[in-house]
Amino acid sequence: MEAMQTADATSLSAMVAKGEISADELLDHALARVAKLNPDLNAVVSVQEGAARRAIRAGLPDGPFRGVPFLLKDLGAEAVDFPGHNGSALLRDTRYTYDSELFLRMRATGAVTFGRTTSPEGGIGPVTEAAVYGGPTRNPWDLSRTSGGSSGGAAAAVAAGIVPIAHGSDGGGSIRIPASSCGLFGFKATRARFPDGPAAGEGWAGMAIEGFLSRSVRDNAVMMDACAGADAGAPYAAPAMEMTYAGAIARPPRRLRIGVCDTTFTGAPIHPECRTAVETTARLLEGLGHSVTPFCPKADHHGMMRAWTRIVACGTALSVRGALARRGRGLQDGDLQRLSHAAIRYAEGISGADYLQAVETIHAYGREMAAAFDGYDIILSATLAEPPAKVGRFTHDRDDYEAYRIGEGGVFEYSPFCATFNASGQPAATVPMHWTAEGLPVGVHFAAPFGHDATLIALCAECEQAQPWAHRWPPMTQS
């Protein structure tokens, strides 16, 4: 029983292959964990046990995660057997007539999908507090804290030992923010590494990408290898990797030139615990033989966030318009939370030329960040400027969308690092390298040049080996 909770997906699949445990037993255990922990966490929704049992009876694909329970984020990853709410009352009980290419690739690993995990409405915000789920999703390390967003349900489910790995997505830190908040490993690959079809060609002008949250680096590597590659009709594709993700972690990385930023990228101070995480990780890397020097990337970070804010507002408006068209009606009371209404109003003031200018700003910023890596292989910073926020701090029950994102005390001050690499398209990851005196996880953030995913994940695996975290579990999981 303990092995079912503590083993990673790779180990669990090996146990299934050896006949030590069955896929049905692993599913039983995951469902029992949902029943026990989800009332406090509010992380798992749209449970489809019947679909999972049918998949097992039909014979699972002989992939690397054969028999391992798995969860989809309740945003995207369309699948016939897994309806969802997409974080919104407007989209409640959405059913799909097709399986997305990403889901087909995840299913081919042999993983047993049995439900979805919560996300905020529209996927915007560093918390998961969507009204459609009846309350906030909470952090297993401290139920008064957020699990992060927008893949907050995925993070809570993995951190609580319900599943060892879960699907997420990241358009401004939505994998890395919750992974950092919940003491997990989260990886945002180079732009266009994974398929978006057939529902979309790209998300948020190419800034959004699918991905995974996991307890071990190797699980993430194997799942990304299984899902990588453009699908038919994709508008563009990521450059080919020099080796697979799994191949990259099978050997130590070369000694790297690492630039360390212990402030925000605009030079503002960060929380002492976050700075400690950066400093101790830098010393660890230096001890491993890497070249470590102080560094702060110079680029128009504020301009990028203003452009990001405009693009995401337009994306929200487009999503709502499409949902209403499919339903053949206008907006009704209770369809959306106040922040989504605010985003739509904000988008109405953006012309087509304004939107294209925002995209151009993002592209120019990408060139600035490409230049920032001259002389460096990796940029190290904190993942967040503070430990996980209290539930309610970033509620969607407010009317000023722009201030929510980039105003004083807003999201950009709390999460000033992650969106940088959505805008630039460069790969980035959060690694759980520090816990506060109160027992809250604090992630450190690594980023690499465009296309250098293999270098990045190899460094993450080296950190995992040098300072393991798999033995750390939230207290609520121990009872």
Query: What's the predicted TM-score (pTM) here?
Result: 0.98
- Decide: 90 and 326 in contact? Cβ < 8 Å: no
Query: What is the full DSSP assignment across 368-393?
Result: HHHHHTTT-SEEEEESSSSSPPBTTT
Catalytic entry in 174, 319, 340, 415: 174
Catalytic entry in 46, 100, 147, 150: 150
What residue has token string 């993995």? Answer: 158
- Decide: 193 and 236 in contact? Cβ < 8 Å: no
73 noted as active-site residue:
yes
End-to-end Cα spacing for the chain: 13
> What pLDDT score does 1 carry?
57
151 noted as active-site residue:
no
- Decide: 360 and 311 in contact? Cβ < 8 Å: no
- Decide: 41 and 96 in contact? Cβ < 8 Å: no
What residue has token string 């083993």? Answer: 7
Closest CA to 216 of 478, 472, 36, 474: 472
Q: Which two tokens stand for residue 170?
A: 């990241």
- Decide: 26 and 16 in contact? Cβ < 8 Å: yes
> What pLDDT score does 5 carry?
77
Q: Where are the domains of the chain?
A: 2-477
Q: Is-cis flag, bond preceding 100, omega within 30?
A: no
* Count helices and strands in the chain by DSSP H and E runs: 17, 13
SS3 assignment, position 165: strand
Distances (CA, A) of 426 to 53, 421, 449: 39, 5, 6
> What pLDDT score does 79 carry?
98
CB-based burial, 158-171: b 16+ in 10 Å, e otherwise: bbbbbbbbbbbbbb
Residues in the chain: 479
298 noted as active-site residue:
no
Give the pairing of strands 209-214 and 185-188: antiparallel
Give the pairing of strands 378-382 and 257-260: parallel
Across the chain, which has 479 residues, the per-10-residue mean pLDDT values are 84 98 98 98 98 98 98 97 98 97 98 99 96 98 98 98 98 98 99 96 97 98 98 96 97 95 98 98 98 98 98 98 96 97 98 98 98 98 98 97 98 98 98 98 98 98 98 92
Catalytic entry in 73, 180, 319, 424: 73
Closest CA to 337 of 257, 413, 386, 394: 394
Find the radius of gyration of the CA atoms of the chain: 20
SS3 assignment, position 92: coil
Distances (CA, A) of 157 to 9, 122, 257, 392: 14, 20, 35, 20
Cα–Cα distance measured from residue 374 to residue 257, given in angstroms and rounded to the nearest whole number: 10
β-sheet bridge partners, residue 211: 168
The listed CATH number (3.30.310.80, 3.60.15.10, 3.40.50.300, 3.90.1300.10) that belongs to domain 2-477: 3.90.1300.10
β-sheet bridge partners, residue 292: 258
SS3 assignment, position 343: helix
> What pLDDT score does 341 carry?
98
Residue 335 CA to chain centroid, in angstroms? 25
Q: Is 356 exposed, middle or buried (0-12, 13-18, 19+ CB in 10 A)?
A: exposed
Count how many Cα atoms sit within 13 Å of the Cα of residue 457 in the half-sphere of its side chain. Answer: 31
